Amino acid sequence: MSAHVLAGVDARGIASVTLNRPEKANSYDAVMQEALAVAFERHAADRAVRAIVLRGAGRHFSAGADVAAGAEPAPGARGIFEICRLIDSIPKPTVALVQGACVGGGMALAACCDIVIAARNAFFAVPEVRLGLTPGTLGVFFARALGLRQFRRYAMTGQRFGAEEALRVGFAHELCEPQALDQALAAQIDEILLAAPTAARNAKLMAARLAGEALSAELIARLQVEFLESQASDEAREGRASFREKRKPGWYPKP
């Protein structure tokens, strides 16, 4: 693991991945990209991991590609699009904790996470057009997270927008003061841990299908079958029992 990315797992199975180039506003180079891919793959494969938190060290989440150093991966290494696809497809909840700059490829990394908690000092941009570039393949993630209408505005102009606007358009789910980020994260993690792991994974897979498929009769029928199957699962039985008994379910970690 490169020093550019810090990773770990706590006792409750909450993994952390921290972009660690604060002196460069956590802009990524080829070394950081490969370290990111390795960290997310490791956490995705670890059955003890319940959720993964992505954050940036210091004042900023990520200023995107380190244009000066170059962010092109070595032959055979993963580029930022591959890393975004990896994060997007991990069958576990992912949370981006954003402060300061969340720009370009850094914004794409946040867009791939299931939940975005932003500090009120956060700002966002899809700035490629201001470098004479198109958003390229990352536009897939920007458009989905922003919605097509907002994507057209921000991708065509490259202009910055703040945390309040990110919340308004649905990119961010929650705002807080910068000093309250960890408190907001703790509350969100508690909500995640109340969800049955297999059911949460299946909900994420369902979301991916709904985003990519029309609501055909076949899809609706398939989703209904999966719902009925989930009703007969051990997790569903425990969920119903814990609801009736007004207690936390068995999958919630013991103190």
For 8-38, how does the pLDDT look when each residue is reduced to its tens digit (9 = 90+)?
Answer: 999 999 999 999 999 999 999 999 999 999 9
* Confidence at residue 240, expressed as pLDDT on a 0 to 100 scale: 86
For residue 158, the model assigns a pLDDT of 93
Question: Is residue 67 very low, low, confident or very high in pLDDT (cuts 50, 70, 90)?
Answer: confident
90: left (phi over 0), alpha (psi -120 to 50) or beta: beta
CB-based burial label for 61 (10 Å; 0-12, 13-18, 19+): buried
> Which positions ≥6 away from 207 have C-beta within 8 Å?
none
Percent of the chain with pLDDT over 70: 95
Span 122-148, mean pLDDT?
Answer: 91
CA gap 47, 146 in Å, rounded: 31
Q: What is the pLDDT of residue 72?
A: 60
Instruction: Please tell me whether residue 128 adopts helix, strand or coil conformation.
Output: helix
User: Tell me, what's the pLDDT at 218?
Assistant: 84
What average pLDDT does the chain have?
91
Residue identified by tokens 């709904």 is 210
pLDDT tens readout for residues 78-121: 889 999 999 999 999 999 999 999 999 999 999 999 999 999 99
pLDDT at residue 71 tops 60: no
Cα 226 from Cα 186, distance rounded (Å): 31
pTM for the model stands at 0.89
The pLDDT of residue 78 is 83
* pLDDT score at 76: 63
pLDDT tens track for 233-242: 998 889 989 8
CATH assignment of 5-193?
Answer: 3.90.226.10
* The pLDDT of residue 229: 86
Predicted local distance difference test score (pLDDT) of residue 70? 55
Region 55-82: what's the mean pLDDT? 82
